[in-house]
């Protein structure tokens, strides 16, 4: 008996693939693609010479420099602190652990303006913490350190929350195996544990960095926003917009967008490298 080759398709779990994909694409287009495209087109209107003049103006350059420097400082701090925090939350049992775990999300939940205000109040010359720092000659508010502080505050959960689940899923047998093979605790962390959480950690740090570059609300309160000193790029774009200088605003925004895209690519590359052993 000869069977006709009847096309048999595996049933999809979710019904309406076309509909769900269509909705997703529509939403993605409306909320991400069109604004980005508009930004790029707006930037393209300016023309390369004018664009270059805007983004290399001393004030703009200074703003980029402040933004990137502060973001690097904030990310370096979060890279260490976030990893430590994730480690503590996963590896130790102590009273109040759940509360600490919940507190980790506050930077996500808190309006950034509130965060900026409270940080300013804490670190200003007569604030709770600032009153002790100021006599030592350390000023946070209205300096680049203030900018970095605000960035660090808003972006630390990204590191903690990406590393934490990976660390939780790490089979304790790996460490036990290393121990039976004679590895010291330090060697176990450096050679067995850390390489396995490295992809997640890199991802977390990249997102934290990207978030720091774009942070606005928390920073404007604490930075003082002195042009050439503590003015960040996002604020400069905002100021240009207020001056009805749409071209200037979109040129600066475009540069920020480029940074974000470059970061995404770098982050993906780094992760692919760090996960090279997982593929078949």
Partner 1 sequence: MTIAISSLTKRFDQTAVLRGIDLTINDGELVALLGPSGSGKTTLLKIIAGLDWPDAGGLVVNGQDWLPLPAQKRRIGFVFQHYALFPHMTVRDNIAFGLTVRPKSERPSKTAIAAKVDDLLGLLQIPHLADRFPAQLSGGQRQRVALGRALAIEPAVLLLDEPFGALDAAIRRDLRAWLREVHQATGSTTLFVTHDQEEAFELADRVVVMGEGRIEQIGSADQIHDHPASPFVARFMGAVVELPVTLRAGRAEAAGLDARMLERRAMADGPAQLFLRPDAIALDADPASPWILSHKASNGAMIRATLRRADGTEVPVDLLRHSAPDLSLGTAYRLRPLTGAVFPLDGVAQNDAPRPLPILKEKRQ
Whether the Cβ atoms of residue 271 and residue 162 lie closer than 8 Å to each other? no
Using rule CB under 8 A, residue 192 touches partner 1: yes
Note the helical H segments in the chain: 17-28, 34-46, 48-55, 58-91, 97-103, 106-109, 112-123, 130-133, 144-169, 172-180, 185-188, 194-214, 217-223, 233-242, 246-274
Q: With CB under 8 A as the contact rule, which of the stretches 161-169, 183-191, 225-233, 258-266 interacts with partner 1?
A: 183-191
How many whole angstroms separate alpha carbon 3 and alpha carbon 104? Answer: 62
Asked if residues 203 and 271 have their Cβ atoms less than 8 Å apart, the reply is yes
**One symbol per residue from 114 to 153: x for binding partner 1 (CB under 8 A), - otherwise; what is it?**
----------------------------------------
Is the CB of 117 or the CB of 192 nearer to partner 1?
192
Q: Does 50 bind partner 1 (CB under 8 A)?
A: no
Binding partner 1 (rule: CB under 8 A), the pick from 114, 125, 187, 226 is 187
Give the dihedral of Cα atoms 248, 253, 255, 257; nearest 10 deg. Answer: -160
Residue 22 binds to partner 1 (criterion: CB under 8 A): no
Nearer to partner 1, 45 or 169 (CB): 169
Q: In angstroms, what is the minimal distance from the CB of 209 to partner 1?
A: 24
Nearer to partner 1, 73 or 203 (CB): 203
| Site of interaction with partner 1 (CB under 8 A) | 171, 173-174, 176-184, 187, 191-192, 195-196, 277-280
């Amino acid at each position: 008996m000869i069977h006709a080759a009847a096309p048999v398709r595996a049933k999809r779990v979710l019904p309406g693939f076309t509909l769900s994909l269509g909705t997703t694409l529509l939403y993605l287009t409306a909320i991400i693609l069109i604004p980005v495209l508009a930004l790029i087109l707006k930037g393209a209107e300016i023309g390369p010479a004018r664009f270059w003049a805007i983004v290399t103006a001393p004030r703009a350059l200074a703003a980029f420099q402040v933004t990137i420097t502060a973001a690097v400082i904030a990310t370096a701090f979060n890279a260490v602190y976030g990893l430590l925090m994730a480690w503590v939350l996963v590896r130790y049992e102590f009273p109040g652990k759940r509360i600490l775990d919940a507190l980790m999300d506050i930077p996500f939940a808190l309006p950034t303006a509130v965060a900026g205000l409270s940080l300013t109040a804490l670190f200003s010359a007569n604030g709770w913490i600032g009153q002790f720092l100021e006599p030592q000659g350390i000023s946070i508010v209205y300096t680049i350190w203030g900018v970095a502080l605000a960035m660090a505050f808003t972006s630390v959960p990204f590191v903690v929350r990406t590393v934490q689940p990976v660390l939780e899923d790490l089979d304790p047998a790996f460490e036990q195996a290393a121990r039976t093979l004679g590895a010291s605790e330090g060697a176990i962390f450096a050679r067995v544990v850390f390489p396995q959480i490295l992809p997640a950690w890199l991802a977390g740090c990249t997102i934290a960095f990207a978030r720091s570059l774009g942070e606005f609300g928390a920073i404007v309160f604490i930075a003082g926003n002195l042009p050439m000193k503590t003015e960040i790029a996002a604020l400069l774009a905002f100021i240009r917009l207020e001056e009805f200088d749409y071209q200037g605003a979109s040129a600066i925004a475009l540069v920020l967008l480029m940074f974000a895209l470059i970061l995404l690519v770098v982050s993906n590359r780094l992760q692919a490298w760090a996960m090279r052993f997982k593929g078949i």
